[in-house]
Structure 1
Amino acid sequence: MDALAGLLEGPRARGAFMIRACFEPPWSVRVEDRAPLTVMLMVRGEAWVMPDAGERSETGFPPAEGRERVRLRAGDLAIARGPDPYTCADDPGTEPQALILPGGECRYPDGRSLNGVMDLGVRTWGDRLDGSAVMLIGTYLWQGEVSGRLLDALPPLLTLTPEVWDCPLTRLLMTEIVRDEPGQEVVLDRLLDLLVIAALRAWFARPEAAAPGWYRALADPVVGRVLRLLQDDPAHPWTVASLAAKAGVSRAALGRRFTELVGEPPMTYLTGWRLALAADRLREGDATLEAIARQVGYGSAFALSSAFKRVYGVSPQEHRGRGV
């Protein structure tokens, strides 16, 4: 498995929340649904997406990367990584008129229920069906639907414009999102997965993308080979010596080069990789902890459980339960 395929083998939507949002200015919607990942594809008109930390602080320093507010135009795509809230609006100065909460609950800013008030048809929501702003929105509702390694590799907010990517799915999504056919939920789930994978593949290919260190290090002839060995066969009893022999360098040289490019030593990376795989597999199916331990390179369920709780702060069973 190549590294990008490994990173993108999730997401796998299950009953994702998908709508076509139609608005006429002025409009503003605040999103506090705590969803792990949301995709916004601007079909017509313009919109601002504003993470909570997007404003310049009182100290005058600029906001952290990925938290700046962005302006979307027709054809642009934005991906917001949760759980932090954000606001979508026609203008940064427009006050929110609706609040989106976990579970698909919608309220006025004063707390009154808005559920059903802004429905405009099948998976269509807003204030005007012929509004000048139209956006397709897809939301992964559960953490287990998106690889933890993928979420860790993303900024809070990323955007792509038609100049750097060409989305062949827009027309199909516009057609399918308003259909009410048997099995339509599954069709939309798979289309959302394809949209996310296509967008992230384009984003990671950009030279200025803040890809994780291990992803950039794949281009190195020594470290890239070692990374592929670890990713392809995490259950193997690797040591620094065996990896160095495969790469044709000394243990010291491998340790220095790997740490410099990836940001951590080889064995630390391997531990993180094994535990990340275990975390994803715990939420993907009903395999026993013993089976998962063997698959990712731990000698027993107890050994995996101890390492997992040390890093994630919860037991594997608790982690699995949170993804349901």
Structure 2
Amino acid sequence: MDPLSTLLDGARARGAFVLRTIQTPPWSVQVRDRAPLSVVAVLRGTPWVVPVAGDAVRMEAGDIAMMRGPDAFTFADDPLTPIQVVIHPGPRRTTAAGAELPEAADTGVRTWANGMRTYDDDSADGSSVLLIGKYRGPGEITTRLLGALPPLLVLPRAAHVESALVSLLAEEAARNEPGQDLVLDRLLDLLLVAMLRTWCTRPDADAPAWYRAGGDPVVGPVLRLIHGDPSRPWTVGALAGQTGVSRATLARRFTALVGMPPMAYLTGWRIDLAADLLRNSDATIDSVARQVGYGSAFALSAAFKRARGISPQHHRDRM
């Protein structure tokens, strides 16, 4: 598997939060639910997304935004509109002052409106319709994937081809049939994969160095070997032998393109895998250690402490 496929293979929504929201001006909703990753597609209107840090971005119908948690973000009809609703974990809604808000009136399956509106209402009043998808639990998104993403990513409609997926997710969000949660989970996963693939291939994207290095005839195969079989006792010599170059050539080329030596990259990948396994499985620490290329729980613990500053058990307990 190529590094991007390996990275995205760990993205698995489980009971994802999917909602259509219809907002009539003036409106401003700040999201503080600490979800690890949120995806928002604009179905209608021209809302603004305002990150905690950085400039506000105006979006149009067909645009898609991705927000990396746990930072808060705000969607509004205008960046200057005072915050009216705050979304907390749960989700729980309050006013900006903290007063609890009653449950929203039923405006359809998985639909919330700030007024008595429906999706088919005339939009002459400037209302916006947003489709929201959220990965809610730890382990649904891998540590390394979150680390590779910018806090806010907006893909204009002209820059991607996911419109069919967005339309299908919007249609399924309005249905309530057996197995619906699973359908929504997988559609959100597909949309995430399509978005990240589009973003990484854009010339102006600040894609991770390992992704840009994936097309190199020497470094690319080495990355695939590391990602495909992290438990193998790799050395620079063994990796170089697989690609037909000298150890010095591989070390120099890998460091220049990826930003670190091959063994440092391998260690980082193993620790990230171990962190996710400790968080998402009941496997013993010794079993996790062997899955990621360490001979014992003691060896993994030593490497984990050097990389993360805490023991594997402490990491698991904290999760």
User: Do both proteins adopt the same fold according to a TM-score greater than 0.5, normalized to the shorter chain?
Assistant: yes
The residue number in structure 2 matching 1:110 is 97
The residue number in structure 2 matching 1:215 is 211
Q: Which of 123, 131, 135 is matched with 1:136 structurally? A: 131
Give the aligned residue type for 2:302. S
Deviation at 1:322, TM superposition (A): 4.9
> How many pairs align?
310
Deviations 1:198-257 (A, max 9, x none): 111111121221111111111111212221221122111111222223233332222221
Kept in 2: contact 1:105–1:115 (CA 8 A): no
The residue number in structure 1 matching 2:261 is 265
Q: What is the rounded CA distance, in whole Å, between the counterparts of 2:18 and 2:315 in structure 1?
A: 26
* Structure 2 SS opposite 1:163: helix
Output the aligned Cα RMSD: 1.7
Q: What is the rounded CA distance, in whole Å, between the counterparts of 1:9 and 1:322 in structure 2?
A: 24
* Structure 1 SS opposite 2:11: coil
Deviation at 1:286, TM superposition (A): 2.4
Which one is further off, 309-318 or 36-45? 309-318
The residue number in structure 1 matching 2:151 is 156
Equivalent runs, 1:278-293 vs 2, <5 Å: 278-293=274-289
Deviations 1:22-43 (A, max 9, x none): 0111110011111110000100
Kept in 1: contact 2:31–2:73 (CA 8 A): yes
Give the aligned residue type for 1:159. V
Equivalent runs, 1:197-276 vs 2, <5 Å: 197-276=193-272
Q: Which of 160, 164, 180 is matched with 1:165 structurally? A: 160
For the structure 1 residues 231 and 20, does the alpha-carbon distance in structure 2 shift closer, same or farther, using more than 3 Å as the test? same
For the structure 1 residues 69 and 143, does the alpha-carbon distance in structure 2 shift closer, same or farther, using more than 3 Å as the test? farther
Deviation at 1:88, TM superposition (A): 0.6
Q: What is the rounded CA distance, in whole Å, between the counterparts of 1:7 and 1:253 in structure 2?
A: 26
Kept in 1: contact 2:2–2:223 (CA 8 A): no
Give the aligned residue type for 1:97. Q
Give the aligned residue type for 1:182. P
User: TM-score with structure 1 length normalisation?
Assistant: 0.90
Equivalent runs, 1:6-17 vs 2, <5 Å: 6-17=6-17
Kept in 1: contact 2:30–2:73 (CA 8 A): yes
Deviation at 1:141, TM superposition (A): 1.1
User: Runs ≥4 in structure 1, deviation > 6 angstroms?
Assistant: none
User: TM-score with structure 2 length normalisation?
Assistant: 0.92
For the structure 1 residues 94 and 180, does the alpha-carbon distance in structure 2 shift closer, same or farther, using more than 3 Å as the test? same
Deviations 1:40-62 (A, max 9, x none): 010011111111112xxxxxxxx
Q: Which of 114, 131, 156 is matched with 1:127 structurally? A: 114
* Structure 1 SS opposite 2:48: strand
2:313 is the counterpart of 1:317: yes
The residue number in structure 1 matching 2:30 is 30
Q: Which runs of 5+ in 2 are unaligned?
A: none
Deviations 1:286-318 (A, max 9, x none): 222222211110001221122223322333334
Deviation at 1:179, TM superposition (A): 2.1
Deviations 1:134-186 (A, max 9, x none): 00001111231101111111111111122121221222222211222233222
2:21 is the counterpart of 1:21: yes
